[in-house]
Structure 1
Amino acid sequence: MVLGDFPVLQYLGDIIDILIVWYVIYKIIMVIRGTKAVQLLKGITVVYVVRILSQYLGLKTLQQLMDQALTWGFLAVIIIFQPELRRALEQLGRGRIFARTMNQEDDEHVKMIDAIVKATEYMAKRRIGALVTIERETGMGDYIETGIPLHASISSELLINIFIPNTPLHDGAVIIQHDKVAAAACYLPLSESPFISKELGTRHRAAVGISEVTDSLTLVVSEETGSISIAKNGDLHRNLTVEQLKELLKSEFSQTKAASSSRWQWRTKKNG
């Protein structure tokens, strides 16, 4: 006996089939988010849309070009994103690709915030210069490649040791990706904004620069004054207290981000 003999069971089977497919797609998106693969998917979407339009408008030459791009694009994806595909398959083999829950992500965010705040407080009191960038939706793989790969679990002790003066990794930025210290001694683009105060140095310009081209959140500890600053969306918010830093990070990574952000008031001097 097959499900086709019972329309209700057939409909139920179709619903389950659709839900499983959507769940798999959702998990794939969660794996590739924040990587260069996201930009690739956007590019493929554009090519596919152009292909449909060219067919609808009768642009045969353009249609053939788009067909070739889609045909050979699959092979190009496998070659270009071989590391990401391998990581996804490894996670699938370990059962981790379906194991991550929202609670686990929240716990990781809490640990990350505590480590950053503790390290920042230590370095600010001793005027140890630091530059820490937290990756969000926009992938930062290109900038991670400029530094020394670490792929280490984040801790306040690790961050402090990285930025101790005259150590091999202290010069440059630390990039945090997926709640891990991805790399240290990374080079970030310097902002060319004329509105940045002349009293601010390279670290602050790099923090603003990376916030202009990505949606990252970048923390700066001044080596001269020990002041704490955050760069976001091209703006530099200066002279934060440790408590303000912690509240800001919590609001940014909270599940109820919109509500938290509406309650959060910038009580700092905004540069420019």
Structure 2
Amino acid sequence: MQNVLTVVAGYLGKISLPGFGVIDIIEIGLISFFVYQFMAWIKFTRAYTLLKGILIVLGFILVAYIFKMNTILWIFRNLANVLVIGVIVIFQPELRKALEQLGQKKFVSNIIPFDSGREVQERFNDKTINELVKACFDMGEVKTGALIVIEEEIRLDEYVRTGINIDGILTSQLLINIFEHNTPLHDGAVIVRGNRVVAATCYLPLSDNMELSKQLGTRHRAGVGISEATDSLTIIVSEETGQVSVARGGELSRGLNSKQLREVLVSAQNKKVVDNGKLRNLLKGRVKHEEKSD
């Protein structure tokens, strides 16, 4: 046992650790911050799926390297430059959006929220839920078709760009006017982000699900299609029957009543109370303690 300890001690004595200073700590902190921001940003875009595909390809290259698959490695080495350019072209919209968001960031207020305490975080408020429910069933009574996509975590910018920008506060009157027959904006989908109608007449991908009823038209297939491609919640009002349906995660729920639709919207609202004022309270407590000491 003594010999083993002597060998280990001799080995550890030969290890020389590099110098570690303040600049190194700052550098590690900056790299960690930018990696975290990149992962947080990419998680809410379609690029996240593409990134997983790239990781799978890199894993395949690693396997080829371990098992000395020289032909495959030669192919990847010769295609490396082309693949890098291809990745830049594929991610071009996301990279541009990321740089725009980087310029709009308020880093200090995000890192140290001095002016915030207990607050309610939610995708949209209760008033928006009431307006959505009212609009859907008012349109259902007169058999006005509607297709309303509610954005959740994954941003729907690529679908917003296919429509006409609205950027108005969501009200039942606005939705009813948009989907009214023979109006310029009635054809296509409305995209909702938070408490606002972002765009109208947006084009959505159609679902290829062969299990959907043949009685369903393009509006329902588009509603299911966008729910398959993203994590959004889609409300469909049938022009033929006036029924209100909801598509989420590729699943279609038909014939909802107002109570059921409200429950679905409340679950999508994701309301929670967050106490992010701990730092502020800590500083206040410290000041009070110093005042008492004086």
The normalised TM-score by structure 1 is 0.69
1:249 maps to 2:259? no
Structure 1 residue corresponding to 2:76, chosen from 37, 57, 66: 66
Give the SS at the match of 1:86. helix
Map 1:117-156 to 2 at 5 A.
117-136=133-152, 147-150=162-165, 152-153=167-168, 155-156=170-171
RMSD over aligned Cα, in angstroms? Answer: 3.9
The answer to whether the 8 A contact 2:144-2:179 is kept is: yes
| Structure 2 CA distance for partners of 1:83 and 1:208, relative to 1, 3 Å | closer
- Looking at structure 2, the residues matched to 142 and 90 of structure 1 have their Cα atoms a distance apart, in angstroms, of 16
Is 2:63 the partner of 1:53?
Answer: yes
Determine whether 1:204 maps to 2:214: no
Structure 2: runs of 5+ lacking an equivalent: 1-16, 273-294
Change (3 A) 1:225 1:78: same
Distance 1:77 1:202, change over 3 A: closer
What's the CA shift string for 1:50-81, capped at 9, x where partnerless? 11111101011212333444444333333333
* TM-score for both structures, normalised by structure 2: 0.65
Identity of aligned residues (%): 40
2:284 is aligned to: none
1:112 deviation in Å? Answer: 5.7
Indicate whether 1:116 and 2:116 are aligned.
Answer: no
CA distance in structure 2 between the partners assigned to 1:38 and 1:63 by the alignment: 26
Q: Is 1:235 the counterpart of 2:247 in the alignment?
A: no
The corresponding residue for 2:87 is 77
Q: Residue 144 of structure 1: CA displacement?
A: 5.2
In structure 1, the partner of 2:206 is 189
Q: How many correspondences in the alignment? A: 246
Query: Unaligned regions of 5+ residues in structure 1, if any?
Result: 1-6, 257-272
Distance 1:137 1:66, change over 3 A: farther
State the SS of the aligned residue for 1:166: coil
Separation in structure 1 between the aligned mates of residue 98 and residue 28 of structure 2, nearest angstrom? 22
Q: Distance in 1 between matches of 2:107 and 2:148?
A: 28
SS of 2:124's equivalent in the other structure is helix
- For 1:73, give the aligned amino acid: L
Q: 1:106 aligns with which of 121, 130, 148?
A: 121
Contact 1:34 1:140 in 2 (8 A): no
Counterparts of 1:32 and 1:180, CA distance in 2: 24
Corresponding position of 1:3: none
Q: SS of the counterpart of 2:240?
A: coil
Larger radius of gyration: 2
Of structures 1 and 2, the one scoring higher in RCO (CA 8 A, sep 6+) is 2
CA distance in 2, matches of 1:104, 1:71: 48
Partner of 1:28: 38
Which has the larger displacement, 156-165 or 208-217? 208-217
Quote the offset at 1:49 in angstroms: 0.8
Amino acid at match of 1:128: T
Deviation, structure 1 residue 115: 5.0
- Tell me whether 42-51 or 60-69 shows the greater mean CA deviation: 60-69
Residue 165 of structure 1 pairs with residue 175 of structure 2? no
